[in-house]
Structure 1
């Protein structure tokens, strides 16, 4: 299945009337952001519409955005494993130590575009990182957009400008990268950023474009520093996963509906939707009068050199766990390169 074919299937699903028979399976789908978020509107809702249409109304979703099933974002994985939810969308980075292999994609200056990185991530999770997903059935695993730095009231042009600034990060490797750059990293799930910026608890945030309007970041910041070139400063891996136990409980024909709507190209479709949303969010921010600027190439080279030890430390961490850190790093990098070409 190609990403385009999946997109056409999404469009066709919207035209299929609901079946008259009673619903047999209701999947509880939970995540941590609002229902206006691009991932919810552009991927989760259409995906749910598609599986309902293909199952002739025998399977549908009940959506629980913004942690409306209770709990906090780091608890989503426990919720899907414990049966509180059947499917969740979350960030592995919210649970440090739980996905140490998968987090290789979050290393500084490692990922590229939304779609290329997402295809590479799917292959890696289906292969070398599969052990981290025991009890889960991945449906789509995509990379958030290339991260950039959003600042309340200071334009950062050089490493020296970052010193002492409190900057939100979503993950362990984000912490390490910001610390290497001289900032003070503050671990914080996305929903808390709006309040953090409004109250001055943080001076800035590491965040992709696509979620900026939903969190009103463009209203709370003035300066937005983008890296230059094709390699991203950083990114976050995100996963849309189903309880394996719930999947196993489905009859064979409904399992096939799920299986027909998961995989590399479904992941790439989700990433493509977010890429479009990212471009729109950037335009909204510019129209708001904010300053969006690119770091100078020579300055970015300094940032890359300064953060290089983060990758070496990750490799050593994997070696300490009895894994071949260099091999895992190079395999993931090769997949990113393969799909970026």
Structure 2
């Protein structure tokens, strides 16, 4: 039997060795967002980024993710939580703070974002320093990204051209660009939130919803509707903007080598990967709709031209708002389009 006198020294050596093998993290970063753990942004955007940071830092950074607003507050408060340092990092939808990121919103406009989230994500990165950074004074962006694009998901009405939307009631994807897009096409925006959206569509309480295929699939909307209308082949009625942001003071306080870890995990490769995630999810949801027997409608050339003419009003309204803030909105539209084109199919 081992001498008890040896046990204490051996135990001390074992503890020392395990401590060396798994050093305690020097920095703990808290991430807060409003969605559940089973959602695409949590599983395929936030969690992989967190694990990547931990690996790159060799355990010096620990990332704790708190989903579903478990640290308190409501979704519209997430930006303020990041700005004031209540939490270190947030992921949110820009639609919760309408008008707050008006410059960056250019990438959500119909006829600006086409249908390639990889290209749009990279374009946002490219224009950040010169055009967009003014909106993020107290924040350090990790990723500003979009989804594949908005589609008209219709219950009992088939939309093949703009006149089919006249008098129809549509749920918007936001209170600014999404709302203006619906109104520009001659439809009305629902005045109710319809938290049980699939049921409302099935019961004909509204005619349709403007949202991505991926979101429609996750919410059960695909099962509740019969048709889906795109702007064109691989073209969508704009998109939504998502913000993965860190408190700037917290980032600035990190040692330089740990800042480099954050930067390495949040670079162009991350933007590409997230764009690809949403592209794949959108394609899968579209396939699910087809398998249910739903119709996917791509307007003919004449109908598309009419849609595009009407959607110019969305751009005009957005540009007018930017002009009132002392920003040349139409110039920003041109720069965004050029940068998306430059990053398409790279």
Q: 1:187 to 1:126 in 2, by over 3 A?
A: farther
Q: What's the Cα RMSD here?
A: 2.5
Q: Aligned match of 2:332 in 324, 328, 338?
A: 328
Offset from partner CA, 1:272-306 (integer Å, 9 cap, x none): 11111111122222223333222223212111101
Contact 2:160–2:297 (CA<8 Å) still a contact in 1? no
Give the Å deviation of 1:175.
0.8
Q: Aligned match of 2:318 in 314, 317, 326?
A: 314
Offset from partner CA, 1:18-52 (integer Å, 9 cap, x none): 96122332322222333222222222111111111
Where does residue 217 of structure 1 map in the other structure?
221
Give the Å deviation of 1:135.
0.7
Matches of 2:83 and 2:139 in 1, distance apart? 7
Where does residue 104 of structure 1 map in the other structure?
106
Moved more, 64-73 or 320-329: 64-73
**Unaligned stretches of 5+ residues in structure 1:** 1-17
Q: How does 1:53-132 map to 2 (within 5 A)?
A: 53-112=55-114, 113-132=116-135
Q: 1:49 to 1:177 in 2, by over 3 A?
A: same
Q: How does 1:276-315 map to 2 (within 5 A)?
A: 276-315=280-319
Q: How does 1:1-341 map to 2 (within 5 A)?
A: 20-112=22-114, 113-171=116-174, 172-186=176-190, 193=197, 197=201, 202-340=206-344
Contact 2:156–2:204 (CA<8 Å) still a contact in 1? no
Matches of 2:157 and 2:189 in 1, distance apart? 16
The number of residues matched between the two structures is 324
**Unaligned stretches of 5+ residues in structure 2:** 1-19
Q: Output the TM-score relative to the length of structure 1.
A: 0.86
Matches of 1:181 and 1:240 in 2, distance apart? 31
Q: Output the TM-score relative to the length of structure 2.
A: 0.85
Moved more, 58-67 or 191-200: 191-200
Moved more, 302-311 or 128-137: 302-311
Offset from partner CA, 1:224-251 (integer Å, 9 cap, x none): 1122135432111222111112212322
Bigger-Rg structure (1/2): 2
